[in-house]
Amino acid sequence: MKKLLVILFLIPLASLPQSTSFDFHSPKNIKKFADYLFCEGDYIRAVEQYTTVKNIFHSDTINLKIMLSYSNLNLHKQVFEFYLNEIFFEFEEDAQKLYLKNSFLVDSSVFYANLSNNLFPFDMDQAVANYFLKLRSVYFIETRSKEIKKEELLKPFDILQRREVEPFIDLSVNPDYKSPALAGILSAVIPGSGKMYVGEWGDGITALLLTSLFAFLAYDNFKADHSTRAWIFTGLGAFFYAGNIYGSVASAQIFNARIDFEFSNGLNLFLEQKNYFLPDYDFCN
């Protein structure tokens, strides 16, 4: 009897989900799923889902999210195309900023030339123009241009951002380069000193020891009338002496390349951390 009751209870319970019509693919649920994907960082699939419901909701938020997704995927061309094909209302300013950011990422020099020739497909209001000036400052910092004064480069940034951007401006104008010519001259006077000047102490000491050793051996053999050996050591000494001068110049150049690399890397890291001065959208909380 008990078993029969349990079966009678379970049959309708099992059949209930089958009979209930739950539409997983309703626009509302697709949007919910797209929101979930967007917040999880699965931008490719989020865009797919948003695109299917975009024309049903006619929401600015969805359009901006699609643009943000393309931007986060570095699909710059799609960002431009999407902006040109859609009409924004509430987020027009944000969409324009995203457009600018992506044109800056494609090629900063083209980005700057576009403004000079008024090639952007929109008129900028005050906020967007200020955002453009920020990116323009970054462009001048990146290219180490001295066209614009420091005060003017800092002007578009607020006080907190100025503190962060200022060291980059200082480094771009006065990089900690080493002079290749000075390194060469130093090594010509005291072998290895040019390398020490560049900061390569190990190489500098090795060059000094090698050159000194062969110079001493040449001198000692000349003194002892072993002219053949003396000339061999003279040749080896000259070989390492000349190489030490050349190497010091090359080391100074490599040092400068390292300074450029670290500056560029640091600036890019800073820009990525700051999301290229775009606002932090609170879509996922």
Please report, as ranges, the residues that interact with other proteins according to CB under 8 A.
180, 200, 202-203, 205-207, 210, 239-240, 242-244, 246-247, 249-250, 253-254, 256-258, 260-261
| Cα angle value 111/112/115 (rounded, 5°) | 90
Kindly tell me which of 113 and 242 has the beta carbon lying closer to other proteins.
242
What does each C-alpha distance from 178 to 174, 198, 259, 260 come to in angstroms? 11, 7, 10, 12
Supply 117's token pair. Answer: 């020739």
Beta carbons within 8 Å of 121's beta carbon, 6+ residues apart: 83, 84, 99
44 SS3 class:
helix
User: Element (H or E) spanning 232, and its range?
Assistant: helix 227-273
Q: Specify the residue, 156 or 180, whose C-beta has the smaller distance to other proteins.
A: 180
* CB of 249 vs other proteins, minimal distance in Å: 6
Going by C-alpha positions, the residue among 266, 250, 101, 62 that lies closest to residue 172 is 266
Whole-number minimum distance, CB 258 to other proteins, in Å?
A: 5
CB of 108 vs other proteins, minimal distance in Å: 19
The whole-angstrom separation of Cα 198 and Cα 238 is: 22
Residue nearer to other proteins on the CB measure, 6 or 269 = 269
Coil, helix or strand at residue 183: helix
CB closer to other proteins, 172 vs 248: 248
Task: Give the span between the Cα atoms of 276 and 139, in whole angstroms.
Answer: 12
Least Cβ distance, residue 273 to other proteins (angstroms): 19
Rounded to a whole number of angstroms, the minimum distance from the CB of residue 276 to other proteins is: 24
Q: In terms of CB distance, is 138 or 183 closer to other proteins?
A: 183
Q: How far is the CB of 262 from other proteins (least distance, A)?
A: 8
Of residues 115 and 208, the one with the C-beta less far from other proteins = 208
